[in-house]
């Protein structure tokens, strides 16, 4: 049997002349012409001879080189080629690294896949801003598969009681990104950002931390005086606010309304599904006051209430009308609440007062 362990740590350190120095069982120290030293494993597989590098002596000691040689011998005893096995292992690692994505990369991919279906560009901007502000500093650079419950709580806890509404939206957005990553096979297992049966045991109920507040609304009994004051105001924004109130519409629905959606003879305004929050077409009957308002508008094409350069009014233009009227105590959206209050109780009171 060939002698083994011929080399010593001292002999390896002092080897200077270029050439090959055998340790035994195929392990060889190679000294190059420029003096660099490395380990080689020589073996036969089938009918062919092979040489396999085991690393530089600068990083691989003699004892470690012998361990690597033993590993190779074990593979040979199992009928496996050490060189082929190493190439396959490296290929697997390359694929794994290529598939590994950070949370921020997954968030960007999720936004790219879904933002085109969101009607309001502002929504996509809010998504990106919220994640960048609160999630990125904590988990943004981490592999998405490494994100666990502890890390999600670390993101949410600092703002859970101080910015509860933002925190709850952030939690939902993190959950969506992690769901996307799971379906895309960049992570596995349960979603650590899920609420029911998971985070609800670790974080306070957001409805109890910060009860939802309704938009400030004008009592319906004050509407008559308010509308009289509003009709004295001039400008496109004032008319848009008046139309919003008369139709109980959302501000965005009014600002994006076009003449092609209005049928004056049928007294009907049809808001297409693409512009509705619920994604369904909405048909709004027009009252006498709404018809009179529309008939008083200039033009019969484009937007009902065009802003500068025939673009839609900004989302603050209607609120600005309220400020100019000295009514910072109410909001545009609050008029929908006023309408509901009138529908639920106001109409009944009017009928009762008339003995009906």
Please spell the DSSP secondary structure of 222-280, one letter per residue: GHHHHHHHHHT--SHHHHHHHHHHHHT--HHHHHT-BGGGEETTTTEEEE-GGGSTTSS
For the stretch 139-197, pLDDT in tens is 999 999 899 999 999 999 999 999 998 999 999 999 999 999 999 888 889 999 999 99
Cα-based angle 117, 119, 123 (whole degrees, multiple of 5):
95
Query: Any idea what the CATH number is for the domain that residue 243 is in?
Result: 1.10.443.10
Same domain for 114 and 81?
A: no
Give this prediction's pTM.
0.47
Per-residue burial over 137-153, b if 16 or more Cβ lie within 10 Å, else e, is: ebbbeebbbebeeebbb
Name the domain boundary from 161, 188, 209.
209
Query: Which residues make Cβ contacts (< 8 Å) with residue 119, sequence separation at least 6?
Result: 274, 275
Same domain for 205 and 225?
A: no
C-alpha–C-alpha distance, residues 39 and 54, integer Å: 5
Same domain for 71 and 108?
A: no
Same domain for 234 and 183?
A: no
| Residues found in the chain | 356
Per-residue burial over 229-248, b if 16 or more Cβ lie within 10 Å, else e, is: ebeeeeebbbbbbbbbbbbb
- Asked if residue 261 belongs to a domain, the reply is yes
Query: Any idea what the CATH number is for the domain that residue 158 is in?
Result: 1.10.150.130
By mean pLDDT, which of 16-30, 220-234, 271-285 is the weakest?
271-285
Same domain for 21 and 68?
A: yes
For the stretch 5-48, pLDDT in tens is 899 999 999 999 999 999 999 999 999 999 999 999 999 999 99
Same domain for 37 and 63?
A: yes
- Asked if residue 109 belongs to a domain, the reply is yes
Neighbours of 104 (CB within 10 A): 18
Q: Residue 29: which domain range?
A: 9-99
Phi-psi region of 19 (alpha: psi -120 to 50; beta: other; left: phi over 0): left
Name the domain boundary from 209, 243, 269.
209
Beta bridge partners of 283: 270
Same domain for 118 and 239?
A: no
Report the number of distinct structural domains present in the chain.
3
């Amino acid at each position: 049997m060939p002698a083994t362990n011929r080399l010593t740590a001292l002999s390896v350190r002092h080897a200077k002349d270029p050439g090959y120095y055998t340790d035994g069982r195929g392990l060889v120290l190679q000294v190059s012409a420029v003096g660099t030293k490395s380990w080689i494993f020589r073996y036969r597989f089938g009918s062919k001879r092979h040489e396999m590098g085991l690393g530089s002596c600068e990083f691989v000691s003699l004892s470690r080189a012998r361990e690597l040689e033993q590993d190779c011998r074990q593979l040979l005893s199992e009928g496996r080629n050490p060189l082929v096995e190493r190439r396959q292992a490296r290929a697997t690692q390359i694929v794994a690294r290529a598939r590994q994505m950070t949370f921020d990369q997954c968030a960007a991919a999720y936004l790219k896949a879904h933002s085109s279906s969101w009607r309001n560009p502002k929504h996509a901007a809010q998504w990106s801003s919220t994640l960048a502000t609160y999630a990125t500093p904590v988990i943004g650079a981490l592999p998405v598969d490494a994100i666990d419950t502890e890390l999600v709580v670390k993101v949410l806890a600092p703002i859970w009681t101080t910015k509860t509404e933002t925190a709850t939206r952030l939690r939902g957005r993190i959950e969506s990104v992690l769901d996307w990553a799971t379906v895309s096979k960049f992570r596995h297992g349960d979603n650590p950002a899920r609420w029911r049966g998971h985070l609800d045991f670790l974080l306070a109920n957001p409805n109890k931390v910060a009860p939802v507040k309704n938009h400030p609304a004008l009592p319906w009994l004050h509407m008559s005086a308010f509308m009289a004051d509003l009709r004295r105001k001039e400008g496109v924004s004032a008319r848009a606010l008046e139309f919003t109130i008369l139709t109980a519409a959302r501000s965005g629905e009014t600002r994006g309304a076009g003449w092609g959606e209005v049928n004056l003879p049928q007294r009907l305004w049809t808001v297409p599904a693409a512009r509705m929050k619920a994604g369904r077409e909405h048909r709004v009957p027009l009252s006498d006051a709404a018809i009179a308002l529309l008939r008083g508008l200039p033009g019969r094409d484009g937007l009902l209430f065009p802003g500068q350069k025939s673009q839609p009014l900004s989302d603050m233009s209607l609120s600005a009308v309220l400020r100019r009227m000295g009514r910072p105590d109410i909001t545009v959206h609050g008029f929908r609440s006023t309408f509901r209050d009138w529908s639920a109780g106001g109409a009944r009171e009017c009928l009762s007062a008339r003995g009906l």
